Chains A and B, each alone.
Chain A
Amino acid sequence: MDLQTIWFFLWVLLWAVYFVTDGFDLGVGSLLPILGKNNDEKRIMYNTIGPLWDGNEVWLITAGGVTFAAFPRVYAIMFSSLYSALMLILFALILRGVSLEFRGKVDDPRWRKVWDTCMFVGSLVPAILFGVAFANIFQGIPIDGGGVYHGTLFTLLNPYGLLGGVLFLLLFLVHGSLWLAVKSEGNLHDRSADMANKLWPVLLVVAVIFLVASAFATSIYDNYLAHPVLFIFILITVLALLGIKIFLAKRSYWKAWFSSALTIFGATFYGFIGLFPNMFPSSINPDFSLTAFNSSSSPLTLKIMLVLALICVPIVLAYQFWAYNLFKGKVTKDDLAYEEAY
């Protein structure tokens, strides 16, 4: 395999890991006003993601950095084309991060209300906009030969883009409610499990609509039809999606969460396998599309970065796993008494 192809899939992998890890954080944040019935429950929700969200968000920074390093032309044109959407995501993530740290520092319901709102908006907006952005990428973006974007933020809010937004939101809501079912007990646990059960059929319907709509709105099935063996990836993703319900019915919440993780992982790869070697296709003219081959860095940079990535990524995954393992227990009311609790 050539360097560009390796980097293309490594790039997809980084996004997939980001969506799997920060996905449940965004889900928990979006569910805050619905599932957190009182201050204690809200605090438990914050604390279930407290030790982990920051490390999760670094996958986004890494995905960004790697886009810059391995595909500078994609970085330049993707980020400037999606300017307003990306700025909204960044501001939202800023509010989300600060809410976690600041909310518990002043004992005043109004102060908490402000940060709860920021947490909710700061989680909901990225969850939707990532979906909108990626669906639009699958579909093609109006960029000309010079990489100049001919559209506005509202160009992205087309039916297929919005469908992608709803799909991502549902994926993260299910992912987040399963995380809460794993990490909490009592009423909050019951309501979270209930929420996952209620959301799952909706997710299933939207996912099916998305799979069908993709056949009309995009050309991502061309790669699958050219190499039918690739359909296995879609099959695995769909099985994982069904697995969520099966494990939910058995009350095996960890397993349901892992199924959900695999679903998100598969959903990210699903689109990009179809897109390959395109990374940022032009809807104006296919010749203007940015591909792994016409937008990559020099072979030397790709080689050096590959060696570094092959060393660093497994190490990062290892100590991140260690941290997850350290905080795998349930967050209880007793935990809220410690001074460091959010």
Chain B
Amino acid sequence: MDVLMLSRLQFAAATFFHFLFVPLTLGLSVMVAIMETRYARSGDEIYLKMTKFWGKLFLINFAIGVVTGITLEFQFGTNWSRYAEFMGDIFGSLLAIEALGFFFLESILLGVWIFGWRKISKKAHATVMWLIAFASTGSAVWILTANAWMQHPVGYVIRNGRAELENFAAVALNPFGILMFFHMVSAAYILSAFFVMGISAYHLLKKQHVEFFTKSFRIALVFGLIFSFFEIFEGHLHGSDLAEKQPAKLAAMDSHWETSKNAPVYLFSFPDEANERNYIEIGPMPGMLSLLAFHSTDAEVKGLKDFPPDERPPVLITFASFKIMVGLGFYFALVTSIGWLRRNRLMESPWYLKLMLYSIPLPYIAILLGWTVAEVGRQPWIVYGVMKTADAVSRIAASQVAISLAAFILVYGLLGAAAFYLIIKTARKGPEPEAA
């Protein structure tokens, strides 16, 4: 394999692994902050126990998220140096703002939160968790703004053989980034809600700590319900924005080959990339793609055949990731709705609790698939329409990258196993037993 393929795999492995931990940090910080605020206001010990139990899981998860984030930043220099050189004027500053403005706040306050129980007041301690939640959300804003610039570059001019900043406000307020942000944060909240509901369901099924986990479940349920529905609406906006800004990605997401008006969506289809068609197309909904993409059944949707073959993303991966993600999105809305109807009868609904327990991995899958659509669907471009990924890779020895990729897989594999073990162990153990 060449440096390009190895670097792609390495970046994908590092990003996927990092992103197993980031969403839970985003969502759980808010939920723990809510729990701790209730404790600080009411003094009700059960909320303190909730804060500590969910906080413990939050910390295990946070640790891995933090340490694996650094490799992402540095890989732009190590593996994608020609990208870094060409785009650094814009892209680098967004990462620097993230670190200076938000990551510091998050990291320094985390130490204060863990060790500060007897050093600062209850209310101050709860405020610290709110600030951590604020800072991690702020971090997400800037990282996604940086990614959005790769998806839809704005506010720049090509000068001196590189992209130079022309309008900072345009870069910072890139509408594409704003849509990505809401999409990703909602996904993170859904994931966190399913995480809390799933673990609560485990204990409720065992009929232990019933009050504790019923309360936890309900807080998470509200989160999950609201954001599952919001995500469907937001995802639609995001998709129709894509139709305009990344038509090749949109066509790949639906495996849409021929440019046509009144373009359909199929209930089931399967792309045949080699022959530029679909193997099967079952259950056409005429005009649906035109309607979803451009809000009119008459609208013309550009097909993949109208893009030069070397400017098309890998269709099958993009298509399958997108369809499964969307399916999961509707599933989340469905099961949280059922949960809402049964919120007062959770203990009488073991089948539902079991369903929620086994649903924990699903939002993780949905998020990773979402990133696959975003990143694989953008190929062959690293910056859409401006720079190809193949032109961005460092001029370094392939052996180096092969070794580091192997190290990534080994180290991350072991870390993942250790984190998984710790999270399960802590989750199973449940809250500290009440003092007799």
Contact = CB atoms under 8 A, between A and B. Distances in A.
Interface of A: 50-55, 57-58, 60-62, 64-73, 75-80, 83-84, 86-87, 90-91, 93-95, 97-98, 100-102, 105-106, 146-149, 152, 297-298, 300-301, 304-305, 308-309, 312-313, 316, 319-320, 323, 326-327, 338-341
8 tightest A-B contacts by CB? A72-B88, A79-B77, A68-B92, A55-B108, A101-B63, A51-B111, A69-B92, A76-B81
**SS class, residues of chain B in contact with chain A:** helix
16 contacts: A50-B114, A54-B66, A55-B111, A62-B96, A68-B77, A68-B88, A70-B92, A75-B81, A83-B396, A94-B67, A98-B64, A147-B81, A152-B397, A297-B92, A301-B89, A316-B105
Interface in B401-421: 401, 403-404, 407, 411, 415, 418-419
Nearest to A146: B395
Interface range on chain B: under 10, 10 to 19, 20 to 34, or 35 or more? 35 or more
B244 interface: no
Interface string B148-171: 000000000001101011101000
A80 B73 contact: no
A152 B76 CA distance: 20
Contact of B74 (A64, A70, A105, A309): A64
A98 B418 contact: yes
B112 A80 contact: no
Interface of B: 52, 59-60, 62-64, 66-71, 73-74, 76-79, 81-82, 84-85, 87-93, 95-101, 103-105, 107-112, 114-120, 159-160, 162, 164-166, 168, 394-397, 400-401, 403-404, 407, 411, 415, 418-419, 422, 425-426, 432
A79 B78 contact: yes
Given A65-B95, A98-B418, A327-B115, A72 B84 contact: yes
B96 A68 contact: yes
A86 B418 CA distance: 24
Contacts of A71: 88
A312 B88 contact: no
A326 B107 contact: no
Nearest to A298: B164
B400 A84 contact: yes
Nearest to B156: A298
A72 B97 CA distance: 15
A69 B88 contact: yes
B70 to A, nearest CB: 6
**SS class, residues of chain A in contact with chain B:** helix
Contacts of B162: 72
Nearest to A105: B422
Given A79-B77, A98-B64, A323-B111, A65 B89 contact: no
B67 A93 contact: yes
Given A58-B104, A102-B422, A326 B116 contact: yes
Contacts of A54: 66, 107-108, 110-111
Contacts of B426: 105
A101 B88 contact: no
Given A98-B63, A308-B100, A61 B92 contact: no
Given A51-B114, A308-B97, A87 B407 contact: yes
A341 B59 CA distance: 13
Contact of B407 (A91, A320, A341): A91
A152 B66 CA distance: 29
Contacts of B64: 98
Which of A61, A66, A316 has the most C-beta atoms of chain B within 10 angstroms of its own C-beta? A61
Contacts of A297: 88-89, 92-93, 164-165
Contacts of A83: 78, 394, 396, 400-401, 404
Contact of A313 (B100, B107, B110, B111): B100
Which of B64, B107, B164, B426 has the most C-beta atoms of chain A within 10 angstroms of its own C-beta? B107
A90 B404 CA distance: 11
A80 B108 contact: no
Nearest to B10: A87
A297 B93 CA distance: 10
A55 B119 contact: no
Contacts of B114: 50-51, 340
